[in-house]
Amino acid sequence: MSGELGKLMAQNITTEMPREQLEEHVANILKKLTMCTLITSMDDIPRGTPLEYFSDGLTLYISPDPGPKVENLKVNPNVAVSIYNIVHPDWENEWQTVWGLQITGKGELFEEGDPEYAHGQKVINFESFLRALGLDPNEWPKGRKILKVTPSNIALFELGLLTKGLSPRQVWQAQS
């Protein structure tokens, strides 16, 4: 490892980002992309489902189609979410662009009539999807559930943080 990445990694940088700065940084990352893998489980069998998400700060909102993930959530609210950028880096020059988030927390399903459902509707950008289907963009589909993912732990891995004198591994924990 003779390149810049190797030199920085050899320094074993462990400096943590201040909590408020980390929260803002992660919230900004969550706004950049909208695809995640939601991991649910039932009877110790995990299931990963790629889904579109929308964020409100560190909280994620998803409008899942019915299926095993929803059934899993009904019996086990513990979830993990994986979000990462897709790059094919030129490791000599673009390693700073590699990052990913691993979120663990609780998933809550809400139905129409719940106050949190109404908030989720505001966060989720369903209008363009409805227009693509040829439907009224102002008419939310009946019977649709909203999943709110409240994080308890967020692990960020971002190689570019090394160039700022920060550890590429940053961990955020919810405060009780």
pTM here is 0.89
pLDDT value at position 1?
A: 43
Average pLDDT, the chain: 90
Q: What average pLDDT does this structure show over 119-125?
A: 88
Whether 64 contacts 147, CB under 8 Å: yes
Residue 126 clears pLDDT 90, i.e. is over it: no
Whether 137 contacts 131, CB under 8 Å: yes
Question: What domains lie within the chain, and their CATH numbers?
Answer: 4-171 (2.30.110.10)
* DSSP track, 76-106: --EEEEEEE------TTT-GGG-EEEEEEEE
DSSP for residue 112: T
> By three-state DSSP, how is residue 43 classified?
coil
Q: How far apart are the first and last CA of the chain?
A: 42
pLDDT value at position 72?
A: 95
Residue 93 clears pLDDT 90, i.e. is over it: no
